[in-house]
Chain A
Amino acid sequence: MTVQNTGASEITVFTARKVITMDTTLPEATAVAVRDGLVLEVGSLETLKPWLDRYAHTVDRQFEDKILMPGFIDPHLHPSMAAVILQMEFLTAMEWRLPWGTVQPVTTQDAFFARLKELSDNMEDPDAPLFTWGYHRNWHGVITKPMIDEVVGDRPVILWHRSFHEIIVNSKALEWMEITRESLGNHPQAKFDDGHFFEMGLHKASSKLTPYLMAPERAMDGLNRLREVAHFGGHTTLGDMAVGIFDLDMEYAGAKLMYDNDQTPFRIQMIANAMGLSATNKSHQKTLELIDALPERNTHRLRFSNHVKLFTDGAFFSQLMQLGEPGYLDGHHGEWLMPPESFEEAAELYWKSGYRIHVHCTGDMGLELALDVLEKLQWERPRFDHRFTIEHFGLSTPEQVRRLKALGGCVSANVYYLHELGDQYAEAGVGYERASQIGRLGTCIREGVPTALHSDYTMAPALPLNNAWVAVNRVTSQGTVMAPTECLSVEDALKAITIEAAYVMGLEHEVGSLRAGKKADMVVLEQNPYDIDPMALKDIPIWGTIFEGAVFPIVKKNA
C-alpha cells in the first residue's frame, strides 16, 4: 500500500521489551505509535500496520530492552515551596535521592556536624550562607548556636528543621540577619543565645530568610531544580495542590516563566488554595469569582480547572492533626487550619458551584469533619462523580473508609508518613496500634475507593516508585513492617501513581494510561516492576521520560 500524503505529521513508533499500559482492557503491549504528542495506538508492530501503511513513520527502537509505562503523576506537591527548600543542602536522617546525588542518611549528632563541616568546606564562596534542611532532634540531638559556631563559625549557617517549624542558626547568621538580642525582646520562642527560633518565634528568622530565598534569581533557580527533581522521579504530570500558598500571581508568573516551554518534560495542573485566597479576599464568594476566572490563564503546560483546595486539620509532621478518642499519648490537642463552620461554608459554596474539592486532612478527626460535611452536601444537593478527595490521609478508621466509599470520595495519600514516622509516632505520638495503621490503603482498595499516592514534596521524596514501594511493603525507616494487612499489591500501587492519580485530578481521559487518543507521556524503566522482588521496587533505574512524544533522557550528574 502507498503512503498517503495528507499533510499529517510523521508517526514515531516506540518499541519496547514491554509496554505496561495501566489500561485494564489491554494491559500489555510491545509498541506505541505516537503522532503530534498523542498516542495513535498501542499494540505491536503487527497490529499497528493500518496506521503505518497509510502514513510516514519511523520506528524508534532505542527502548527495545526497556519497559515503557505511562508517565508518573504526582497529584499533590507545591513547586513554589519546593523551590525554596531545594536551595538548601539536605542534611537528613533519611536517604534522599536527588538528581545531583544521593544524600546518605545522617542519624547521629557527630555525623551531623561532620557533614555540616564538609558542606561548608566544599562551598566556593567563603561568605555565602549555608542553609541545610532536615535537622531533627530525635536523630541529631539538641543543637544550639555555640555548638554550630564551633564547627562552622566563619559563615552564616541556618539549620531548617525537618518539619519546617524550627530554625537553628549560628552567630554569623544572626549577624547576617541583623538580629540582635534587643530585637527579640523577651520572646519565649526566639532564643538569641541558643540561636533557636520555633513556633510563634519562627517568623523572627523566617521574615529575614524567606525574602532572601524567594528573591527572583534564587526562586527561579529553585524552580529549575524542581524541574530536574520531577523529571528524575519519572513524572510527566504534576498537581500544584494549593496555588496561592504564598502569592497566587507571583507563583503563576514564576511557573509560567520557568515551566511553560519545551524544556519542561511535564505539565502542571494548578489547583487554587481557596482557604488562603479567602482570607485575602475577605469572602468565599469573591474568592469563588476569582477562581472561576483562573482558567483564562491556562497555557499548554499550566492548567487550572474546576478543582479547589480546602483544609481541615494541622500538619502531620508536627503532630497538629486532630485526633478522635483516645487522642495523643501526651494529651495535647491538634489544630484546625480553618474553623469547621468556615470549612463547611466554603465546601458548600464550591460543591454547589460544581467544583471538585480536595481537602487536606491529616488526622482521623480532620477526616471526620470532611466526611460529615460531604454527607450533608450529598443530602442537600446530591452529586455523582464529584471527586471529593481526601489529601494526605494520615490517620483514619476502617469505618471512615467505608463511609468515604458510600459518599463517593477519593483518597490521595502521603503513605511515606508511615515509613518516616511510623516507629516514632508509635513511641511518642499516638501509640503502636494507630501509628502502624497510618495510610490505611489496603482498606481503601478493598472498599473500592479510588486511591492515589503523592509526595507533598518535600514531605516525601518526589519519587513515585519510592512511594509505591512504601505502599506495597509498609516498611518503616527502622525496618519494621507495620500493618501488613494494609499493603497494596504492586498493581494497585502502580495505578496509584498513574491512572488513579490522573483520576483524582480529573485528567483520566488524557493521561495516566496508554491507549489511543491519550497524551504520549511515558516513563522509561530498566526493569519490569512486576518481575522483581517488591522490596526492590524503589530501586528500579529510570532511564528517562517521554513527554507528549518528545524523549527526555535523565542525564547522570555528579553531586
Chain B
Amino acid sequence: MPNHPALPFTIIGGYLGAGKTTLINQMLSDPNAPRIGLLVNDFGAINIDATLIEAEDDDVISLNNGCICCKLTDSLGDAVDMLAARHAELDHIVLEASGVSDPTRLKAYAHGNPLLQPGPVVTLVDCVNVRTQANDKFVKHLVRHQIQHADLLLLTKQDLLDPSAFEPVSDWIKTLSSAPQVRATEAPITLLSLLEAAWHFADHTTEESWVDHTHVSWHYPATQRLSRKMICDILSTASSGLVRAKGWFTDERNALCLLQFSQGRVEITEATESASRDAAARSSGLVFLSPDPDFDFSALNDLLDSCKA
C-alpha cells in the first residue's frame, strides 16, 4: 500500500430542506477548499448547480439507496471504496447522506476502509421547521435521531426566523443533544472551517465515549518524538492486555501521526494538512484502554518513555 495518509471522511446529514445542497454548493465554489470527493445519496429533488457539477464531475457521484426489496448491491458502499482508492488525488471525502438515512450507520463505511479516517457526522438542522418535523407522524423518530447522533449541529435558516424565536429552538435542540451548535448565518461557512470544527469536536466526543465503565483508560502525554517502530513493537507485545489505543504523536522524522490500535492491529498514519493537524493540536497524547482493572500502566509508561526518538 502506498504511503499516503488516511483520507478524512466526513458525513453531512440532516432532513430534507435543512440546506445540505446549499452548503455543498458553497463548498464546491470555495476556491480555497481542499480537493474533496463528494458522494451524494439522495432522490429527485437534489439540484446541484449544473456548472459546478461539470467542473467537479469526476468527484461528484450520485447514488440511490441500494436497498429496495432486497439487498443484492450497495452502490453507496462501493462508491466510498472507489473514491478511497483515489486517495492520492483527494484531501477529503464528504458524503452527503440522504434525508432519510441514519448518518451514524454510514460511518461504518469509513471504519471498513483502511484508506479512510472515520470522521464526524455533521447534522444540518432547519431552525424554522425542525420542531414541526420532530412531531411529524412520519419522520419524528428520524429527525430526532439525526440530531441525537450528530457530532456537530449546523443550524440553518435562522435568518428566516423571528429573532426572538431562535433561542427557544436552540434550547430545545439542546434537550436532544449536547453536540456543539454552529449558526450557519453567523459567517459564511467555508468547507475548511466547518470540517475543522467538526473534526475537533468529533475527536473529543469519541474519546469520551470510549471510556465506559467496563474498561480502564490511561493517557500518555507524548510530548517528545517517538519511534514508530518501537510503538508497534510495544503494542504487539502488550496487546493481550490492551483493547484499544488512539491518539496523536510526533514521529522520529517530526511528522505528526495518528496512532490507532484495535483488534490486535496497529495502524499509524500521517496527519493531513488542515483538519487533522488542528484536531491533533487540541487533543495531543495517546489514550490506552484495557479491560483489565489491574493492567500495569506504569510499566507501559516506562516502555513508551524508552521509545523516545
Contact = CB atoms under 8 A, between A and B. Distances in A.
Given A81-B72, A163-B71, A199-B105, 9 more contacts: A164-B70, A186-B111, A189-B108, A200-B74, A200-B77, A200-B109, A242-B68, A279-B44, A315-B69
Interface stretch (B138-146, B160-168, B251-259): B138-146
A232 B69 CA distance: 23
A381 to B, nearest CB: 20
A125 to B, nearest CB: 24
Interface string B175-204: 000000000000000000000000000000
A284 B138 contact: no
A174 interface: no
Interface stretch (B57-65, B225-233, B272-280): B57-65
B221 interface: no
Contacts of B43: 275, 278-279, 338-339, 342, 346
A314 B260 CA distance: 36
Contact of B69 (A81, A185, A204, A282): A81
A458 to B, nearest CB: 8
Contact of B64 (A182, A276, A283): A276
Contacts of B68: 242, 245, 273, 275-276, 311, 315, 337, 360
Interface of B: 1, 15-17, 42-48, 62-74, 76-78, 81, 98-100, 105-106, 108-109, 111-114, 116, 136-139, 141-142, 145, 260, 262-263, 265
Interface residues of A, number: 62
A143 B106 CA distance: 26
A182 B114 contact: yes
A78 B112 CA distance: 31
B45 A342 contact: yes
A336 B100 contact: yes
A459 interface: yes
B69 A341 contact: no
Contact of A360 (B69, B106, B142): B69
Contacts of B262: 186
A183 B15 contact: no
Given A322-B138, A339-B43, A200 B105 contact: yes
A492 B3 CA distance: 67
A545 interface: no
Interface in A182-230: 182-190, 199-204, 206-207, 210
Nearest to B105: A200
Q: How would you classify the secondary structure of chain B's contact residues: helix, strand, loop or mixed?
A: loop
Contact of B71 (A164, A181, A280, A345): A164
22 contacts: A165-B70, A187-B108, A187-B111, A188-B111, A189-B108, A190-B112, A201-B108, A203-B73, A203-B78, A275-B43, A275-B64, A276-B68, A282-B48, A315-B69, A317-B70, A335-B100, A339-B15, A339-B98, A339-B139, A341-B16, A342-B44, A345-B45
A187 B112 contact: yes
A115 interface: no
B69 A459 contact: yes
A202 B77 contact: yes
Given A337-B65, A346-B44, A202 B71 contact: yes
The 8 closest A-B pairs by CB, nearest first: A187-B112, A203-B77, A279-B64, A203-B74, A278-B44, A164-B70, A200-B108, A284-B44
Interface string A350-378: 00000000001000010011000000000
A245 B62 CA distance: 15
A207 B81 contact: yes
A100 interface: no
Contacts of A500: none
A400 to B, nearest CB: 13
A21 interface: no
A340 interface: yes
Contacts of B76: 203
Given A206-B72, A287-B44, A345-B45, A340 B112 contact: no
A341 B66 CA distance: 20
A160 to B, nearest CB: 9
Contacts of A201: 108, 112
B71 to A, nearest CB: 5
Residue from A84, A200, A206 having most chain B Cβ neighbours under 10 A: A200
Contacts of B106: 200
Contacts of B46: 282-283
Residue from B44, B73, B260 having most chain A Cβ neighbours under 10 A: B44
A333 interface: yes
A218 to B, nearest CB: 13
Given A322-B138, A333-B141, A368-B137, A165 B45 contact: no
Residue from A201, A279, A283 having most chain B Cβ neighbours under 10 A: A279
A240 interface: no
Nearest to A183: B114
A456 interface: yes
A120 B70 CA distance: 26
A242 B98 CA distance: 21
A187 B118 CA distance: 11
Contacts of A183: 114
A329 B10 CA distance: 34
A276 B108 CA distance: 23
A246 interface: yes
A324 to B, nearest CB: 8
B63 A279 contact: yes
A289 B229 CA distance: 60
A340 B139 contact: yes
